[in-house]
Protein backbone atom coordinates (compact mmCIF):
# COMPACT_ATOMS: atom_id res chain seq x y z
CA UNK A 1 0.00 0.00 0.00
CA UNK A 2 1.47 3.36 -0.97
CA UNK A 3 1.36 6.38 1.31
CA UNK A 4 -1.51 7.96 -0.51
CA UNK A 5 -3.74 4.88 -0.39
CA UNK A 6 -2.83 4.57 3.28
CA UNK A 7 -4.03 8.14 3.78
CA UNK A 8 -7.42 7.27 2.33
CA UNK A 9 -7.70 4.33 4.70
CA UNK A 10 -6.80 6.59 7.62
CA UNK A 11 -9.45 9.01 6.45
CA UNK A 12 -12.06 6.26 6.23
CA UNK A 13 -11.19 5.03 9.73
CA UNK A 14 -11.59 8.54 11.06
CA UNK A 15 -14.91 9.03 9.34
CA UNK A 16 -16.33 5.77 10.61
CA UNK A 17 -15.70 6.71 14.23
CA UNK A 18 -18.52 8.19 16.29
CA UNK A 19 -18.91 11.97 16.36
CA UNK A 20 -17.18 13.59 19.35
CA UNK A 21 -19.49 14.88 22.04
CA UNK A 22 -17.54 18.04 22.87
CA UNK A 23 -18.17 21.22 20.92
CA UNK A 24 -15.58 23.57 19.52
CA UNK A 25 -16.97 27.01 20.34
CA UNK A 26 -14.44 28.79 18.14
CA UNK A 27 -15.44 26.72 15.15
CA UNK A 28 -19.15 27.35 15.68
CA UNK A 29 -18.72 31.05 16.31
CA UNK A 30 -17.04 31.24 12.94
CA UNK A 31 -19.85 29.28 11.33
CA UNK A 32 -22.50 31.52 12.87
CA UNK A 33 -20.81 34.50 11.22
CA UNK A 34 -21.25 33.04 7.78
CA UNK A 35 -24.12 34.23 5.66
CA UNK A 36 -23.97 30.85 3.90
CA UNK A 37 -24.68 29.06 7.19
CA UNK A 38 -27.72 31.27 7.77
CA UNK A 39 -29.26 30.77 4.36
CA UNK A 40 -28.67 27.12 3.57
CA UNK A 41 -29.50 23.88 5.37
CA UNK A 42 -26.87 22.46 7.75
CA UNK A 43 -24.60 19.94 6.09
CA UNK A 44 -23.96 16.51 7.53
CA UNK A 45 -20.42 17.77 8.08
CA UNK A 46 -21.67 20.61 10.31
CA UNK A 47 -23.95 18.23 12.16
CA UNK A 48 -21.50 15.38 12.66
CA UNK A 49 -17.98 16.81 12.74
CA UNK A 50 -17.98 19.08 15.78
CA UNK A 51 -15.83 19.80 18.82
CA UNK A 52 -12.91 17.41 19.36
CA UNK A 53 -13.76 15.57 16.21
CA UNK A 54 -13.38 18.76 14.14
CA UNK A 55 -10.09 19.58 15.91
CA UNK A 56 -8.80 16.08 15.23
CA UNK A 57 -9.69 16.33 11.54
CA UNK A 58 -8.17 19.80 11.12
CA UNK A 59 -4.96 18.96 12.98
CA UNK A 60 -4.23 15.62 11.38
CA UNK A 61 -3.23 17.22 8.08
CA UNK A 62 -0.42 19.16 9.74
CA UNK A 63 1.04 15.90 11.03
CA UNK A 64 0.62 14.12 7.70
CA UNK A 65 2.36 16.99 5.87
CA UNK A 66 5.20 16.85 8.42
CA UNK A 67 5.43 13.06 7.92
CA UNK A 68 5.64 13.47 4.15
CA UNK A 69 2.38 11.59 3.58
CA UNK A 70 1.21 11.71 -0.02
CA UNK A 71 -1.91 13.91 0.06
CA UNK A 72 -2.21 14.57 -3.68
CA UNK A 73 -3.44 11.35 -5.29
CA UNK A 74 -6.79 12.78 -6.27
CA UNK A 75 -5.09 15.77 -7.91
CA UNK A 76 -2.95 13.45 -10.04
CA UNK A 77 -6.06 11.81 -11.50
CA UNK A 78 -7.60 15.22 -12.20
CA UNK A 79 -4.36 16.35 -13.84
CA UNK A 80 -4.35 13.28 -16.09
CA UNK A 81 -7.89 14.01 -17.28
CA UNK A 82 -7.62 17.79 -17.57
CA UNK A 83 -6.46 19.98 -20.43
CA UNK A 84 -3.34 22.01 -19.59
CA UNK A 85 -3.98 25.09 -17.47
CA UNK A 86 -7.51 23.88 -16.91
CA UNK A 87 -10.11 25.71 -14.88
CA UNK A 88 -10.76 23.41 -11.91
CA UNK A 89 -13.16 23.79 -9.00
CA UNK A 90 -12.33 21.80 -5.85
CA UNK A 91 -15.78 21.56 -4.25
CA UNK A 92 -15.77 20.99 -0.48
CA UNK A 93 -12.01 21.64 -0.44
CA UNK A 94 -11.63 21.39 3.34
CA UNK A 95 -8.08 22.34 4.33
CA UNK A 96 -7.22 22.93 0.68
CA UNK A 97 -4.69 20.19 -0.13
CA UNK A 98 -6.11 19.29 -3.57
CA UNK A 99 -6.66 22.88 -4.73
CA UNK A 100 -3.06 23.69 -3.82
CA UNK A 101 -1.70 20.63 -5.63
CA UNK A 102 -3.71 21.44 -8.76
CA UNK A 103 -2.53 25.04 -8.70
CA UNK A 104 1.07 23.85 -8.46
CA UNK A 105 0.44 21.53 -11.44
CA UNK A 106 -0.38 24.64 -13.50
CA UNK A 107 -4.18 24.63 -13.34
CA UNK A 108 -6.40 27.59 -12.48
CA UNK A 109 -7.87 25.99 -9.39
CA UNK A 110 -10.15 27.42 -6.74
CA UNK A 111 -11.29 25.67 -3.56
CA UNK A 112 -14.76 26.26 -2.11
CA UNK A 113 -16.01 25.07 1.26
CA UNK A 114 -18.81 25.99 3.65
CA UNK A 115 -16.65 25.36 6.74
CA UNK A 116 -15.09 28.76 7.55
CA UNK A 117 -12.56 27.21 9.96
CA UNK A 118 -11.18 24.84 7.34
CA UNK A 119 -11.01 27.65 4.77
CA UNK A 120 -9.01 29.72 7.29
CA UNK A 121 -6.51 26.87 7.60
CA UNK A 122 -6.30 26.47 3.82
CA UNK A 123 -5.60 30.17 3.29
CA UNK A 124 -2.87 30.21 5.94
CA UNK A 125 -1.25 26.99 4.77
CA UNK A 126 -1.27 27.55 1.02
CA UNK A 127 -0.53 31.23 0.53
CA UNK A 128 -1.62 32.63 -2.82
CA UNK A 129 -4.03 29.79 -3.60
CA UNK A 130 -7.64 31.01 -3.97
CA UNK A 131 -10.18 29.67 -1.48
CA UNK A 132 -13.77 30.76 -1.06
CA UNK A 133 -15.97 30.23 2.00
CA UNK A 134 -19.33 29.36 0.44
CA UNK A 135 -21.99 26.67 0.38
CA UNK A 136 -21.84 24.83 -2.93
CA UNK A 137 -25.62 25.21 -3.11
CA UNK A 138 -25.17 28.99 -3.30
CA UNK A 139 -22.41 29.04 -5.88
CA UNK A 140 -22.85 30.74 -9.24
CA UNK A 141 -20.76 32.36 -11.95
CA UNK A 142 -21.17 35.85 -10.51
CA UNK A 143 -19.92 34.79 -7.08
CA UNK A 144 -16.91 33.15 -8.68
CA UNK A 145 -15.96 35.96 -11.04
CA UNK A 146 -16.31 38.45 -8.18
CA UNK A 147 -13.31 36.74 -6.54
CA UNK A 148 -11.37 36.49 -9.80
CA UNK A 149 -12.15 32.82 -10.46
CA UNK A 150 -13.38 31.34 -13.75
CA UNK A 151 -17.18 31.26 -14.17
CA UNK A 152 -17.11 27.81 -15.76
CA UNK A 153 -14.84 24.83 -15.35
CA UNK A 154 -13.19 22.04 -17.29
CA UNK A 155 -13.30 19.85 -14.20
CA UNK A 156 -15.13 19.99 -10.89
CA UNK A 157 -13.67 17.59 -8.35
CA UNK A 158 -15.31 16.48 -5.10
CA UNK A 159 -12.67 14.42 -3.30
CA UNK A 160 -12.72 13.10 0.25
CA UNK A 161 -16.39 12.23 0.87
CA UNK A 162 -17.90 15.63 0.04
CA UNK A 163 -21.00 14.04 -1.54
CA UNK A 164 -21.85 12.12 1.63
CA UNK A 165 -21.34 15.18 3.87
CA UNK A 166 -23.77 17.48 1.99
CA UNK A 167 -26.99 18.49 3.72
CA UNK A 168 -29.40 15.54 3.53
CA UNK A 169 -31.68 15.80 0.50
CA UNK A 170 -29.60 18.49 -1.25
CA UNK A 171 -27.35 16.15 -3.19
CA UNK A 172 -29.13 16.41 -6.55
CA UNK A 173 -29.46 20.18 -6.20
CA UNK A 174 -25.75 20.55 -5.46
CA UNK A 175 -24.99 18.43 -8.52
CA UNK A 176 -27.38 20.62 -10.55
CA UNK A 177 -25.56 23.79 -9.42
CA UNK A 178 -22.18 22.27 -10.22
CA UNK A 179 -23.33 20.92 -13.59
CA UNK A 180 -24.34 24.48 -14.47
CA UNK A 181 -20.75 25.55 -13.81
CA UNK A 182 -19.21 22.95 -16.14
CA UNK A 183 -18.13 23.80 -19.66
CA UNK A 184 -19.80 21.67 -22.36
CA UNK A 185 -18.08 18.25 -22.15
CA UNK A 186 -16.61 19.25 -18.78
CA UNK A 187 -16.25 16.56 -16.14
CA UNK A 188 -17.36 16.16 -12.55
CA UNK A 189 -15.32 13.67 -10.52
CA UNK A 190 -16.46 12.57 -7.06
CA UNK A 191 -14.96 10.10 -4.61
CA UNK A 192 -16.83 8.85 -1.55
CA UNK A 193 -17.42 5.94 0.80
CA UNK A 194 -20.05 3.40 -0.25
CA UNK A 195 -21.48 2.71 3.23
CA UNK A 196 -23.22 6.03 3.93
CA UNK A 197 -26.81 7.34 3.78
CA UNK A 198 -26.17 8.65 0.29
CA UNK A 199 -25.19 5.66 -1.85
CA UNK A 200 -23.37 5.28 -5.16
CA UNK A 201 -26.69 4.13 -6.68
CA UNK A 202 -28.36 7.40 -5.55
CA UNK A 203 -25.44 9.34 -7.00
CA UNK A 204 -25.77 7.61 -10.37
CA UNK A 205 -29.55 8.19 -10.35
CA UNK A 206 -28.98 11.90 -9.66
CA UNK A 207 -26.38 12.04 -12.43
CA UNK A 208 -28.85 10.42 -14.82
CA UNK A 209 -31.60 12.90 -13.87
CA UNK A 210 -29.20 15.73 -14.73
CA UNK A 211 -28.15 14.15 -18.05
CA UNK A 212 -24.60 13.64 -16.85
CA UNK A 213 -22.92 10.74 -18.64
CA UNK A 214 -21.08 8.18 -16.52
CA UNK A 215 -17.67 7.82 -18.19
CA UNK A 216 -15.96 5.74 -15.50
CA UNK A 217 -16.57 4.23 -12.11
CA UNK A 218 -13.48 3.13 -10.21
CA UNK A 219 -13.00 1.72 -6.71
CA UNK A 220 -10.12 4.04 -5.79
CA UNK A 221 -8.42 7.22 -6.99
CA UNK A 222 -5.57 5.10 -8.33
CA UNK A 223 -8.08 3.40 -10.61
CA UNK A 224 -8.59 0.00 -9.06
CA UNK A 225 -11.81 -1.59 -10.34
CA UNK A 226 -15.14 -0.85 -8.70
CA UNK A 227 -16.70 -4.06 -7.38
CA UNK A 228 -19.75 -4.93 -5.28
CA UNK A 229 -17.53 -5.14 -2.21
CA UNK A 230 -15.72 -1.84 -2.84
CA UNK A 231 -15.82 0.45 0.18
CA UNK A 232 -15.07 3.50 -1.97
CA UNK A 233 -16.16 4.78 -5.34
CA UNK A 234 -14.67 7.31 -7.74
CA UNK A 235 -17.06 8.32 -10.51
CA UNK A 236 -16.18 10.40 -13.55
CA UNK A 237 -19.22 12.11 -15.09
CA UNK A 238 -19.29 14.21 -18.21
CA UNK A 239 -21.63 17.03 -19.14
CA UNK A 240 -22.88 16.44 -22.69
CA UNK A 241 -21.42 18.59 -25.44
CA UNK A 242 -24.42 19.84 -27.46
CA UNK A 243 -22.28 20.38 -30.57
CA UNK A 244 -20.57 17.01 -30.23
CA UNK A 245 -17.25 18.66 -31.05
CA UNK A 246 -15.29 17.52 -28.00
CA UNK A 247 -12.38 15.21 -28.72
CA UNK A 248 -9.24 14.16 -26.94
CA UNK A 249 -6.43 16.74 -27.05
CA UNK A 250 -4.01 16.22 -29.94
CA UNK A 251 -1.20 15.21 -27.60
CA UNK A 252 -3.18 12.15 -26.48
CA UNK A 253 -4.07 10.94 -29.99
CA UNK A 254 -1.81 8.87 -32.19
CA UNK A 255 -1.58 8.99 -35.97
CA UNK A 256 -0.67 5.65 -37.58
CA UNK A 257 2.89 5.71 -38.99
CA UNK A 258 1.49 5.01 -42.47
CA UNK A 259 -0.13 8.47 -42.39
CA UNK A 260 2.96 10.42 -41.27
CA UNK A 261 4.28 12.94 -43.74
CA UNK A 262 7.56 14.83 -44.02
CA UNK A 263 6.94 16.86 -40.85
CA UNK A 264 6.67 14.06 -38.29
CA UNK A 265 6.54 16.54 -35.42
CA UNK A 266 2.98 17.33 -36.48
CA UNK A 267 2.01 13.78 -35.72
CA UNK A 268 4.17 12.98 -32.75
Ligand X SMILES: C[S@@+](CC[C@H](N)C(=O)[O-])C[C@H]1O[C@@H](n2cnc3c(N)ncnc32)[C@H](O)[C@@H]1O
Q: What is the DSSP string of 217-261?
A: EESSTT-PBP-TT-SEEEEEEE---TT------GGG----GGG--
Kindly tell me which residue out of 94, 117, 200, 219 binds ligand X, with binding defined by CB under 6 A: 94
> Is residue 114 a contact residue for ligand X (CB under 6 A)?
yes
Interaction with ligand X in 15-44: which residues (CB under 6 A)?
A: 43
The nearer residue to ligand X, 58 or 212, going by C-beta atoms, is 58
CB of residue 164 to ligand X, shortest distance in Å: 8
Kindly tell me which residue out of 77, 87, 132, 137 binds ligand X, with binding defined by CB under 6 A: 137
Kindly tell me which residue out of 58, 78, 86, 113 binds ligand X, with binding defined by CB under 6 A: 113
Q: Which residues lie across from 131 on neighbouring strands?
A: 111
Rg (CA), the chain: 19
Rounded Cα distance, 143 and 130, in Å: 13
E strand segments, 60-103: 87-91
- Across the chain, how many H-helices and E-strands are there? 12, 7
CB of residue 126 to ligand X, shortest distance in Å: 12
CB of residue 76 to ligand X, shortest distance in Å: 14
Q: What are phi and psi of 156, to 5 degrees?
A: -115, 125
Residues contacting ligand X: total by CB under 6 A: 21
> Is residue 226 a contact residue for ligand X (CB under 6 A)?
no
Write the CA distances from 109 to 99, 132, 203, integer angstroms. Answer: 6, 11, 24
Cβ proximity of 221 and 193 under 8 Å: no
Cβ proximity of 233 and 204 under 8 Å: no
Question: Site map for ligand X, 185-224, x if CB under 6 A?
Answer: ----------------------------------------
Kindly tell me which residue out of 8, 31, 50, 93 binds ligand X, with binding defined by CB under 6 A: 93
End-to-end CA distance of the chain: 35
> Is residue 102 a contact residue for ligand X (CB under 6 A)?
no
In b/e form, how buried is each residue of 172-192, taking b as 16+ CB within 10 angstroms? Answer: bebbebbbebbbebbbbbbbb
> Is residue 160 a contact residue for ligand X (CB under 6 A)?
yes
Question: Site map for ligand X, 49-88, x if CB under 6 A?
Answer: ----------------------------------------
Kindly tell me which residue out of 45, 54, 153, 232 binds ligand X, with binding defined by CB under 6 A: 45
Q: Give the residues lining the site for ligand X (CB under 6 A).
A: 43, 45, 92-95, 97, 113-115, 118, 135-137, 159-162, 165-166, 174
Amino acid sequence: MDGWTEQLVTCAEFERSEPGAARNPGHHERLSDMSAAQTSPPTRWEQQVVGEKWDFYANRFEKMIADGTDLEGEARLVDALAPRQAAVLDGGCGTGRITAALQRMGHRAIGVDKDAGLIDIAKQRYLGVPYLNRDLLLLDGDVLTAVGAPAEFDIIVLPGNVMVYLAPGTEREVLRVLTGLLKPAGRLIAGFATDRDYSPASFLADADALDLQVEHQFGTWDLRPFENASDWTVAVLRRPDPDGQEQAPAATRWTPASQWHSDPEQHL
